[in-house]
Amino acid sequence: MSRRPNGRAIKKHRSYTVDEAARALKASKGTVRRWVKNGLPALTDQRPALIMGSELIAFLDGRKKKSQPCQLHQAFCFSCHAPRDPAFADVEVRPLTTTGGMMRALCGRCATVMHKRLSLARMPELRALVTVSIVQGDERIGESRSPCPNDHLETMR
């Protein structure tokens, strides 16, 4: 099953049943039904319900875009599926190059570790919003590879 359904598999001028859409996107039928519940337009007054290819593409595109508008001090939480403020207004930044770094914070809602790339030029702005600790070196390398380290959950609760 594909984690990120891709609208490119969908033909604009076709209509799809939930079953067909799920198969085209390699998603589960439950996933497609959930999209319909969450605002994907579908002709539900007929059986089987039909989803227009163009609506499906627009919906998937919108989701992709919606997943990005983090404010500077926010990062995308993969547990909440939303941009979140850092817990305790506290973030760590590890410079990776002279211009860019990786910001790390705990989701203010669920304490999942969040990461995002950050331009170091924006550090002054970031410092105005949250407390920033600079982390140097490799001591924390590896964490960014793990999708959901939850060693912090204990202390957060």
- The binding site for Zn ion (CB under 5 A) comprises 77, 79-80, 107, 109-110, 112
- Complex with Zn ion: residue 25 or 75, whichever CB lies closer: 75
Pick 125 or 143: Cβ nearer Zn ion: 143
Nearer to Zn ion, 18 or 114 (CB): 114
Identity of the residue, 22 or 75, whose beta carbon is nearer to Zn ion in the bound complex = 75
Q: Where are the alpha helices (DSSP H) in 67-136?
A: 123-129
How far is the C-alpha of 65 from the C-alpha of 149, rounded, in Å? 26
Contact 130, 122 (CB under 8 A): no
CB of 111 to Zn ion, least distance (A): 7
Instruction: For residues 11 and 24, give the distance between their C-alpha atoms in angstroms, rounded to a whole number.
Output: 10
**Packing angle of the helix pair 29-37, 18-25 (nearest 10 deg):** 120
For residue 88, the minimal CB distance to Zn ion (Å) is 14
Q: How far apart are CA 84 and CA 65, in angstroms?
A: 16
Nearest approach, Cβ of residue 87 and Zn ion (Å): 9
**Which is closer to Zn ion, CB of 72 or CB of 82?**
82
Q: To the nearest whole angstrom, how small is the minimum distance from the Cβ of residue 78 to Zn ion?
A: 8
Do 24 and 16 contact (CB within 8 A), yes or no? yes
Shortest distance, CB of residue 108 to Zn ion, whole angstroms? 8
Task: List all residues 6 or more positions away from 69 whose beta carbon is below 8 Å from its beta carbon.
Answer: 83
